[in-house]
Chains A and B, each alone.
Chain A
Amino acid sequence: MKKLINGAEDVLAESLVGLAAAHPELRVDHANRIVYRAEPKPHGTVAILSGGGSGHEPLHAGYVGFGMLDAAVCGEIFTSPTPDQIALATKTVDTGAGVLHLVKNYTGDVMNFDMATELAGGIAVATVIIADDVAVEDSTYTAGRRGTGVTVLLEKIVGAAAEQGRDLAELAALARRVAGSGRSMGMALTSATLPASGKPNFDLGDAEIEVGVGIHGEPGRRRVPLGSAREIAAMLVEPILADYTFGGEPAVVMLNGMGATPLIELYVMFGEVSALLEKAGVRVARSLVGNYITSLDMAGCSVTVLRADDELLGLWDAPVSTPALRWGV
């Protein structure tokens, strides 16, 4: 294992030290591993809170700021944050109008946020679960589809709507609509290596890829021989289109890097993906290419397609100012 770390145990704490040093517009509670906006929202505005295991940077702490999250709660690498952390963050960001929890669908995350809501008693909390990963086919007999790429788009869109002063019920309804209108599919060229274990999470041969992989190195749909970018793009786009009807509506499309794949390859992939979508009649209205929801040093990518409309595009285009997404300001 070759990593830029001091000690495996200190990676999260020390990365938060660096985040705070780089971004004075954030306030980091190092003891509780919570990242807040330095400048809280005005009183009476609904706060948007997310969090999860670390190792997916910039998700979630990199999306704290105007137009997106009010706070992000950081768990250990690939491990959900605990209820006391989440409850504290919930109490801190509440301005009296309630707090919306955006939770990726993993058993641990769902239970910890659930329990945090009980511990934060007295604060109005609405929870929206994101489960967009079409790689999980048999969702009746599993913990359900995993929350992946749609999380990024959702945090942006709902964050913008919250800045407009919408109430908690409206924001929860909007978040559910967005969560229901997006689908993702990912693949890995290599496995991620956790600092604590020092070994790759799974073994992939030199000429093999894992299709339908999660963001923690969970198994995918299948292992296949490495193909061309064009072939891999089809393996990702086809199951998304088979799962959901995008119609002629405008779409927001994200081509996301898993952490160790260069941007030049991500653009090769985006070219292939957008051509396939266009051929299928999906109109790519907005796009995002880069590392937005990663899996440590895993190489590979994921595709997310969100069916939008004028309202969602307006919220997408609204000003945002966070470490990882910034425009219109």
Chain B
Amino acid sequence: MKPLLGLRDPLFALSLLAIDPGLGGVVIAGPPGTGKSLVARAARVFWPARTPFVEIPLHVTVDRLLGGWNMGLSVSSGVLSVEPGLLAQAHGGVVYVDEINLLDPTLLAILLQTLDRGQVVLEREGISRRFPAQFCLIGTCNPAEGELPPALQERVAFLVRTRTLQDVETRFFIARQAGQRLILPEDMVAAVHFARKILPTVTISKRHLQEICAVASRTGVQGNRAEIFAVRCARANAALHRRTMVTQGDVDLAIRLVFVPRGGGESLPVSEEMDAAFDRAEGSAQASRSSPQSARQGETTAAATHPNEATVEKTSRNTQAASGERMGSRAIADPGWREAASQMAGAVPLPGVRNGGRFGPSGRHAAGLNWQRGRHVRSLPGRLSQGRLDVLATLKQVALRGGLQGKALSDRAIEIRPEDIRIKQFRRRSGLLIIFAVDCSGSMVLNRLMAARQAAIQLLKEAYVYRDKIALVNFCRQEAQLLLPPGGGLARATRILKQMPAGGRTPLPSAFLKVWEMTRNAASRWKVAGSMLVLITDGRGNEPLTPREDKQERRAQAEREARQLAMQLREHLVASLVIDTRKIFVPDGHARQLANWLGGHYVYLPDVQSEVVTALVRSEIQRIR
């Protein structure tokens, strides 16, 4: 079991989902190469044999997802037939999406709507059908590649992380396992199957229900799904432990698993309780351990432990602690940054890290109507070489000019003339992603942020026309923060000021990294034609991504990183604007240097006003549109 150490949280969450599909789903987050998809696929054995397990590729089409005409069968049999899509095939089982945070937002909305309804509502291309589609959802995501959509997080009970373990042995094991199946111990699987049987008999007391609901009110989660999930989680955990009454331990676990990630807690802390729970679930009771947590949680079975595991884990923690506290904490909070940074700098990707090739530069692409990608809007006369044939529309054309002469499709010999050919036309949205990056370090922060926020709001109100997306990043202290993710509406923008840290150092490289993450897959993820950066700052960065002790070195490192990242960003931006808010004008100051690196415009604006910022951005947009 040693090699499963880093995958325990996901495995545990998946076992609970298999016990009660009413938990909606599990999203497994973690950097690449930590075994996310390995564990998701391996967990299949938790479900009864012949349970559908349908994998949805990121490039799936709406027709494939929901169903459509089966043209092959229709033409050969002469009878039009409709083929159910992937979601209908998953009825009664599991839908699995690898890198679900990169799924096209439209497809995600369709997927979630189907999940809510438990039914595919197919109203497309002359077809009006309903298919039952009740399923639960398993997804993986690498948070460094894009935020997890809140709508998705709200529909699943669990967001769990793979733990990055530093020990060579585990990494080696996972590397060796790549491409192979992970075999789970039989007793663990048996425990899950037994738990599913007894689940309906598990009850929860009023006191425990009240505690869960009180936590929901205290943490201020949106909606009532969280507490419903938490109650189900507690019951499933009780069933896993062969109990028919929910205990305090089950409730604590449920609160931790369901509410902590929702309350903004980035990840679950490495939890000994969960390990203990797992050891019990494995049913291998050899030696007993009596730590206070396990005694509190486990009221029935004695906790078992594997001495080897404990040692491995301790060692890995020590290693982290030894490598400097700041570094350690950053590595835990956002282990993906290092890989991202190395990709950006054009370095050789780490083993197991996907290189950036799939996400081509999203910057300099015009978009709109085209023959290849996007949403199918209509079909027009054209040549076969031009794009994708719309078989149905073409056949309709033949029928309309009388080419069928009342004969059925089964008569085979249908004459299709060049003028009958219909080619699908697609639309890609042609809006822009406008990213405000606001320096909130030092003093006089409020002016800058207010101006940026006001400009963002103003532009949001105009955004209907071109479907522009607005984002806002602020940077101060140790790290940059995404305050307004692209696609967030006015409601979210107006709330910005209420949750804002300020002061401290200037982590400019961190801000550039955030911007880069958004822009590099902007076209596919945000459906925009290009990205534009509006940087509002009064000085240079002094907080690098790579920690440095000495003040001078820190400044130099930050500058090196800023320059490197700015040059990379340049490739992804259609325009950039650096607004210098220094009180005293310095010719060729740092802000101008930044503008040069970014290949953008420089504006000196000591008392930054929202109207001016808005006007500047607007004129820049008009120039490139």
A binds B: no
User: Contact residues of A with B, CB < 8 Å?
Assistant: none
- Residues of B near any A CB (own CB < 8 A): none
